[in-house]
Chains A and B, each alone.
Chain A
């Protein structure tokens, strides 16, 4: 690669209390280079990038830009040094327009916002990299892909020469990923440096020129030729041991444990369901694929009894659901793991034990005569913490203090302890590292073998292909096709997800 790196981080060390998030990390990016930054959750990727972007000051180490040492202690410093970052959760103001989001923090012209200059610059960036946006639309009307494009344009707008992207593909449909990659390649071809953070090894192999792998805050290894390195080898670098994908053995599905027949919703905000019919049999895993916002949330809410449909029929274990309340569907044998662990999954400010019994708080197991049985609750939580290896100081720990992987284990434990006949999960491994995801997957396959029917709503197609027997694709509130996972490919699913194959 080029002799003078665009940016170089040397010996970066950053501790939070007793925890060393980064220890003596070296990293460099040359102009025109796309560097993959790999690592499990908690490996220190985000901390390292926050040091580079000025959110944290490192305890030791230095940052050099084109060979010159620089001091970056705020975002403003980072921007001035030509570093732009596209965060995983976008930093946009939804009610302001595209142009206003671009012009924030940019000095005006004679005291006024420089609208003409902004428009010209936006058009220029659009021409250079094929990143076009309507300047006067409010950001809230943009799709997730467009919002991400705006974040990238925002960085370029500020003259970024190094662009950091934190898990940029997690929110995109496969077709949008191609668009992102071609834009990134175009930027690299024009001499920009790019740091691409991702969990998805196939994407890293397709896009990056070089990789740095972090583990426990240190550099675990570097990969000089990602395209010709196997995903297994990279995964091993990340985890420190070999990762075997879970094997989904053959199963003999039994009777349908969950059926939806012509379910439609209209009343609520968000995408509505249109005439959705599906069935999950005992001992079967059904995947629901789709770009987020195509009715998956409404589907999960109807099945969990949070939202009543306007039309259609639903049965659980052969019994018709009549009232659509969470208590009713739970009594019929449904377990659910909601999409957002922190807001609908559990109560972050209460002890973990309370969250773990929350859906069954009124049952005889945990209360009697209108009073809670604290000992029973505590004992249940302790038992599950042991069984699922939930890493926490104890059942009375505040739930919000646990890591994502441990929270997901806790939610899983809470449902599986009651042997549900059917389980609905949304984005089961989002934000989890390979080890934790592996654990969750194994539990699902165990349940499948025991005759539980499982619905997995997800955006990660690879995960669905590994896990599911069938995959149904949602587009604009409808099921537009159902594929046997043996016949399904990412390409076919991707086409269905964009509505291209029509109604299958």
Chain B
């Protein structure tokens, strides 16, 4: 067993956790902004997939990685705007519209991908992001190679966490977001536009989901496959609850999930071969369910989550 443990806890293990956590952190922060404003975005799974596709396509056509990231972010914002149009402006059911957005985005992603790349025996790939060691910091033992020898998008995720907390807790806009998610009527009578604030929060959420999708197809896998997201969007929704709608806790939840995921990958690769690998694959999800069962009891959702706002109704 000790050999197994040694294999598991190599220096690369920490780096793997950070890498796995990155798309989850983006997605979780994105979903958190949307939900703090009172809008559940079940479109996240499909939005991530579509963004992974558009970003990948742009890069493979233009050869420019950052242009691809931009396209992915714009795609996310556009799909966020679509979801906001249905749920915020028209006040339709957030569940139904979210699932609709996911189905639509996924279908669109498959369709466009086939249209552009056709059926190829070897799926096309790009030369994705390369790790960018940060001078000095990457020389720190253990922590250096794990945290400071990563993709630029990973650094962006690390910066995004305190930035999200700052925006949410310290800026007037963040206060408006929290207020429209708790009591939209209060925000409205204070002269804050509930519709605009929610719209903006859902679009910002979409942008972050776009970054999550871009990371998957342009840094992690360097290719687009139909299983590139494989449930990470749904996991992010659970992690928001697990993180109690707080940026720091949500990021922590993403790290914890990434830890279990990295662990199961190592266990698959290690000497426990007589157990079917599917059993290991289940671990992060079992962890999520158990964690949710324990943690979400005292989690209190934003009061106005799922509730459309119409001014004339009282």
Contacts and interface: CB of A to CB of B under 8 A. Distances in A.
Interface of A: 53, 55, 74-76, 79-80, 85, 87, 90-96, 100-101, 103-108, 111-113, 154, 158
A229 B267 CA distance: 87
A76 B186 CA distance: 12
B187 A95 contact: no
Contact of B171 (A74, A93, A113): A113
Contacts of B192: 104-105
A96 B189 CA distance: 16
Nearest to B172: A108
B182 A103 contact: no
B179 to A, nearest CB: 5
16 contacts: A75-B190, A75-B191, A76-B191, A80-B191, A85-B189, A90-B186, A91-B185, A92-B183, A93-B179, A94-B183, A95-B303, A100-B175, A104-B187, A104-B192, A106-B172, A154-B190
B58 interface: no
Interface string B155-194: 0000000000000001110111011001101111111100
A19 to B, nearest CB: 14
Contacts of A53: 189
Nearest to B181: A93
Contacts of A95: 182, 300, 303
B297 interface: no
B183 A91 contact: yes
B274 interface: no
Given A104-B175, A106-B172, A91 B186 contact: yes
Residue from A55, A92, A105, A111 with most neighbouring chain B CB atoms (10 Å): A105
Given A75-B189, A79-B190, A104-B192, A112 B170 contact: yes
Interface in B192-230: 192
B302 to A, nearest CB: 8
Given A79-B191, A104-B192, A112-B170, A92 B175 contact: no
A290 to B, nearest CB: 27
A76 B190 CA distance: 7
Given A55-B311, A111-B171, A112-B170, A104 B188 contact: no
B176 A104 contact: yes
Given A76-B191, A79-B190, A85-B189, A93 B170 contact: no
Contact of B183 (A79, A93, A106, A108): A93
Nearest to A46: B314
A475 B100 CA distance: 53
Contacts of A94: 182-183, 303
A113 B172 contact: yes
Given A75-B190, A113-B171, A104 B311 contact: no
Given A104-B176, A112-B170, 18 more contacts: A75-B188, A79-B191, A90-B186, A91-B188, A92-B183, A92-B186, A93-B179, A94-B183, A96-B178, A96-B179, A101-B186, A103-B172, A104-B179, A104-B192, A105-B187, A105-B192, A108-B172, A158-B190
A91 B190 contact: yes
A80 B171 CA distance: 22
Nearest to A77: B191
Contact of B170 (A55, A74, A92, A113): A113
Contacts of A87: 189
B171 A108 contact: yes
Contacts of B175: 96, 100, 103-104, 113
A80 B312 CA distance: 21
Contacts of A55: 311-312
Nearest to A109: B172
Interface string B23-38: 0000000000000000
In the A-B complex, the 6 residue pairs with the smallest Cβ-Cβ separation, listed nearest first, are A76-B191, A93-B182, A91-B186, A105-B190, A108-B172, A93-B183
B182 A96 contact: yes
A262 B189 CA distance: 46
B284 to A, nearest CB: 31
